[in-house]
Amino acid sequence: MHNFTTPKDAAHCYTIADLRQLAKSKLPRAVFDFIDGGAEEESTLQNNLNAFSHYRWLPHVLNDVRDVSTHTTLFDQSMALPFGIGPTGGAGFGHPKADLALAKTASQFGIPYTLSSSATTTIEDIAKVAHGRLWFQAYVLKDKEFFWQMIERARACDYEGLMITVDLPVGGKRVRDFHNHFSLPFKLTPRNLLDFSSRPAWLIRLLTHGVPSLANLKGLEKAATTQASSFTKLASTVGKNYDPAFNFESLAKVRDRWKGKLIVKGVSRPDDAKRIMALGCDAIVVSNHGGRQLDGAMATLDALPEVVKAVDHQIPVLMDSGIRHGGDIAKALALGANGVLIGRASLYGAVAQSDQGAQRAIEILSEELTRTMQLCGVTKLNQFNETFLKKI
């Protein structure tokens, strides 16, 4: 593990770890921990990160790797890179332009961008500035009228895909948020006010742009706050609005009503994957929410091969959680993924330095992926397979 000084800006970041350190230096502890942390003991978060180190490369040599292509296709459309930007809620608490920066950067690099239901920028505002492939991630809400209204707004803005997150019937217990007095909706307390004032540049942006809100969930925030009887209950209050009754029949109704691509995120079991595929869904994302919900869950990289086997190439399988290097992306592809989604990796850049930070994150992953391909003796992504890896 390297121990370098904190980079002064995104241009001096050479790894995602550098961008993480830059973000940490610029954000109050409560805000950084909200982005960086996981549920309970954070064992799922660590499992996701550690899983990649359990697979070692067995590279081919003596191949001509002067010309390497990172292009792939998803839903019969070309992608310049085999990854997209996954949904990350509350990005605006780190930087007011973070959501916009991520969306614009995705367009520039020719990859999909997924807007979270709990983003701080609206469905419509994202569509105005990002002219690439847009997906909208919808949390399943108890208020079905509100739920369908969000989906209709995404359809009206020509979002290509709808992503339904199914691993979140209730909100996870994120202990860091409790200790830091960090909540959604945003609340000021004596403890976090001192924390916020320790980062004056961040605080000035907050005062200039106003306190961020969950722009696509306006109307639900008030209900969540009035339901909370203590601060502990107030943390992650959006979780109070999730529908724990949502099931396969409910998902079938979404499939019937949404005519675009339907992506189901939060799958780790092959039997669930088969049932989801049978409903006519267009893609599956193997995910455990980046370790932010169920603690002690299997790492997504370890769950990936069985899900890939279950769907048998009939629909694309993506994965997220724990990806911090271009080599991690290559390992997921070698284990059968059609592509991956990144979350914290690009979010660290966006909250640290808006557009420049988001762009630097994609550059780092792209450069690392290309180098990994060359060092493994491959020139096209579909040449990766399980023979390149040895699990230890």
Active-site positions read 289
**Of all helices (H) and strands (E), which one includes residue 211?**
none
Q: CB count, 10 Å around CB of 153?
A: 16
Q: Residues near 130 by Cβ (< 8 Å), separated by ≥ 6?
A: 100, 103, 104, 106, 107, 113
Which residues neighbour 212 within 8 Å (Cβ) at sequence distance 6 or greater? 90, 92, 93, 96, 120, 186, 206
Which alpha helices (DSSP H) does 119-186 contain, by range? 123-129, 144-156, 175-180
Phi, psi of 155 (to 5 degrees): -65, -45
The one-character DSSP state at 242 is: B
Q: What CA–CA distance (Å, rounded) separates 385 from 389?
A: 8
Q: Is the peptide bond before 185 cis (omega within 30 degrees of 0)?
A: yes
Tokens 């003796």 found at: 377
- Which residues are registered as beta bridge partners of 114? 135
What is the C-alpha to C-alpha distance for residues 316 and 370, in angstroms, rounded to an integer?
22
Is residue 357 exposed (0-12), middle (13-18) or buried (19+ Cβ within 10 Å)?
buried
Rounded Cα distance between 94 and 38, Å, is 17
- 72 DSSP β-pair partners: 79
Q: Is-contact 335 308, C-beta < 8 A?
A: yes
